[in-house]
Amino acid sequence: MTEYLNYEGGKFSKSRGTGVFGNDAKDTGIPSEVWRYYLLVNRPESQDTDFNWDDLASKCNSELSNNLGNFINRALSFCKARYAGAIPARHASADEHIAALSEQVSKLVSEYVDYLERKKIKDGIKTAMAISKLGNQYLQDRKHWEVYKTDPAAAGGLLLGSLGLTAVLAALLRPYMPSLTRKILAQMDLDEEEFTRLDAGFVERTRDLAACVPQGHVIGDPSPLFKAIPADTVAELRARYGGNQAENAAAAAAAGDKGADKRKGGADKKGADKKAAPKKKEDPNRPVDFSRVDVRVGQITKVWKHPDAESLYVEEVDLGEGQPRQVVSGLVKYVPEEQMRNRRVVCVCNLKPAKMRGVMSQAMVLCGENADASVVEIVDPPAGAQVGERVTVEGFGEGEPDEQLAPKKKIFEEVAADCTTDAARAVTYKGRPLRTSAGPCTLATLTGAKIR
């Protein structure tokens, strides 16, 4: 028995079309696990609660994507990129740190089990998310990516704790978001029934996170578990479900009927019904600076060698647009293919598409190189940056980027000439860092680099 769930400060009303009903949730395009999480964590167990679109987006973006999804993707992607997907072995230098994390986790797992036994559904899922936060803090404290530069085996030992915690989270989330658990375990290539049994020995097993996954087991292909819900989507959904849905549907149907009638009657011979929207004119007086370049966070979802060029990769890059873009990059001699897979990157997205040895490239992966171009490194977005998020520079944010940079005007080249990396390896434009909401973009080792 629960109290009432209200809608945006008012009441759900099917007769007035206010609120989300039945198949409406599916029609929003928001994944089922996001809906399940929001409704469960917002469950009106002891008092009325309120459904709110801003709150739904905030919980998706900050709690699911930046907390849970970020932790899991960072752990799995590093394992895939640096250890060819093989779960690393224990390392003595990491035992103390994993033991400390395991102690914190097992205590919370005990509380989680107690909440579920007492039917405290909301408290249970909040506890699971608190465990995920411990994982993120462990990553930040231990910095296995830094340790890897000097001691890959020790870094692998630290990573083992994160991978064990990922398997634990998959089990804890199964009662709440079973589809998410299946996605996590599919990426780890682990059996669902074997690794999600919340039996009497589960709490005891979490006392040693390093033992929660099989060392040497090769995981599958990691990919982001969540996508951010942008503000314009929130505004559109609020308007769509704010009332008068029946009238809106009828109006849309009527508009569709008129379009069908027009198509049946044939197009106007003069092509009046085919007129495209006027092309946005470029302001000839707009200064050339970073604001004109559309730079976004992406993730490589596929990569292969160019069929006709030994030095080129072809990648599919998710830029938060629904469909990935194809990108050609001259990185074969600098970055091993396994380090390209599922990697977060920073892309220039408004260059004119061009064929490179017969293969179309629709964007450019941003890189940095040393003085003699003997070392080339991919620009890394900060952990927690969202796929599709725009990269900006403070003080150079006036106006939208150009729809497409005119190749003859060399705008990107002029902007890139003022880009480099500072002493902390942060990529800068005229001394100011290229930033996302999660922090600055960086190179792994190069300072004073040329950005291209």
- Taken in order 319, 384, 138, 225, the sign of the CA dihedral is negative
245, pLDDT greater than 50: no
Q: How far apart are the first and last CA of the chain?
A: 60
Answer yes or no: are the C-beta atoms of 366 and 436 closer than 8 Å: no
Is the C-alpha dihedral spanning 146, 149, 151, 157 positive or negative?
positive
Res 350 pLDDT > 90: yes
CA 8 to chain centre: 27
Res 167: pLDDT: 97
* Residue 92 confidence (pLDDT) above 60: yes
pLDDT of residue 26: 82
More confident residue, 322 or 152: 152
Where in 370-444 does DSSP place strands (E)?
A: 376-378, 419-421, 427-429, 432-433, 435-436, 439-440
**pLDDT at residue 262, as a whole number:** 43
pLDDT of residue 253: 52
Q: What b/e readout covers 130-144, taking b as 16+ CB neighbours within 10 angstroms?
A: ebbeebbebbeebeb
Assign a CATH topology to domain 5-211: Isoleucyl-tRNA Synthetase; Domain 1 (1.10.730)
Q: Which of 4-8, 262-266, 413-417 has the lowest mean pLDDT?
A: 262-266
Q: Which of 60-69, 156-165, 172-181, 243-252 shows the lowest per-residue confidence on average (mean pLDDT)?
A: 243-252
- pLDDT value for 88: 97
Q: 3-class SS at 39?
A: helix
- Residue 414's identity, in one-letter code, is E
- Let me know if the fold of 5-211 is the same as that of 290-451: no
Q: What is the pLDDT of residue 282?
A: 58
The pLDDT confidence band at residue 52, using thresholds 50, 70 and 90, is confident
Show the beta-strand stretches assigned E in 48-196: 49-51
Is the predicted pLDDT of residue 219 greater than 80, yes or no? yes
Cα separation values, 423 from 73, 104, 431, Å = 28, 36, 11
What does pLDDT average to over the chain? Answer: 87
pLDDT at 292: 92
Asked if pLDDT for residue 259 goes beyond 80, the answer is: no
Is the per-residue pLDDT at 398 higher than 70? no
Q: Where are the domains of the chain?
A: 5-211, 290-451
The pLDDT of residue 43 is 82
Task: Flag the least confident range among 37-41, 104-108, 265-269.
Answer: 265-269
Query: What per-residue confidence (pLDDT) applies to 117?
Result: 92
Whether the pLDDT of residue 405 is over 80: the answer is yes
Mean pLDDT, residues 194-218 taken together? 92
In degrees, to the nearest 5, what angle opens at C-alpha 428 toward C-alphas 422 and 432?
105
> CA 160 to CA 189: how far, in whole Å?
16
Name the CATH superfamily, with its identifier, for domain 290-451: Nucleic acid-binding proteins (2.40.50.140)
pLDDT value for 244 = 52
Q: Is the pLDDT of residue 160 over 90?
A: yes
